[in-house]
Structure 1
Amino acid sequence: MANFLIERTVPLPLDEAWRRITRWQRHGDAVPLTVVRVEPAGPTREGTFVVARSGVGVLAFDDPMEVTVWQPPRDGATGLCRLEKRGRVVLGWAELEVRPGPGGRARVVWREEIRVRFVPSAFDAVVRRSSRYVFGRALNRLLRQA
C-alpha cells in the first residue's frame, strides 16, 4: 500500500475550506478523466457513498468510497471526513481534515492509503508519487475555486 500526505494552509475560514473540499462532484472537475456522483443524493453524512468513475471507455472503473466519519468543523474546532474505499480496483482509505492554522488561516490535510489491485507492491513508490501529484493538484484547484 502507498501512503501519502498533502498539506495546505489557505486564507479561508474553516467552514469555507471544508465546503470547498467536500463538494464531491467538483473532485471530478479537478481529477483528469473522472466523474463523481454521490449516493444517495443530498447532504453528506456517515453512510454516504462517493463514487469516482475514472478512465475512458472499457478502461474505466468505479472507485466507490463510503463516508465512515463525517465531522464538519464547528466553532473553530477541527473537521474530519474519512472515506473507506470499497471498490474492486482501488482499496484503502482517505481522510480530509480542516483545522485552525497560523494567523487565522485554515490548515487542510489530505491523508491517504491507496492500493491498486493487480499492481504489485514493488510499484508502491510510483503509486505514491503519482497519487501525491494528481491529488495535490486537485486539492489546489478545489481550494482556489469558490
Structure 2
Amino acid sequence: ATNKLLKDKDEIIANFEILETTAFNTDELEDRKINLQAELQVTADSIQDIINENAHKALNQEEYQRKYDSLVEKFDTAKSELETVTEQIKDRITRHKNLEIFLDELHKQEGLISEFDPLLWNSLVDYLTVFEKDKIEVSFKNGIDI
C-alpha cells in the first residue's frame, strides 16, 4: 500500500500545496473567536450590572429574573460556541502539522520501499482496517485509503 502511495507522491505533494492555504486557514475562525470573546465580556458585564442594580434598588423580581436568565442563556450560548470554534482551530492546526510531517516523509522517500521502516510507517500511516484474512485497508494520514 505504501508503494502505491509512493508512486503518486509528486501528485499528492502538488495537490497539498494547492490546497494548503485554504484547507487549513484559521483566519475566519480566529476572527469569530475574537468576536465571541468580546461578546462574552459584554454579556458578563451586563450580568454583573443587573446583579448590582438588583442589590441596590428595589426591582420587580420577576422582571429581574427574566433579564438575568436571558443574559445567562446568551452567555452560555456564546461560551459553547467559543469552545467549539477554539476546538476547530486546534483541529485544523493539528491536522496541518500532521499532514506536513506526512508530506515531508513522503518527499524524503526515494523510490519504493523494500523493507519495513517503523519511522516511515508511523509518519505515513494513520490506521489499518482489517476486513477479513486477506482484505486490509491502509488509511494514510493524508486521507488516502488503499
- Please indicate the TM-score interval, normalised by the length of the shorter structure: under 0.3
TM-score (norm 2): 0.25
TM-score (norm 1): 0.25
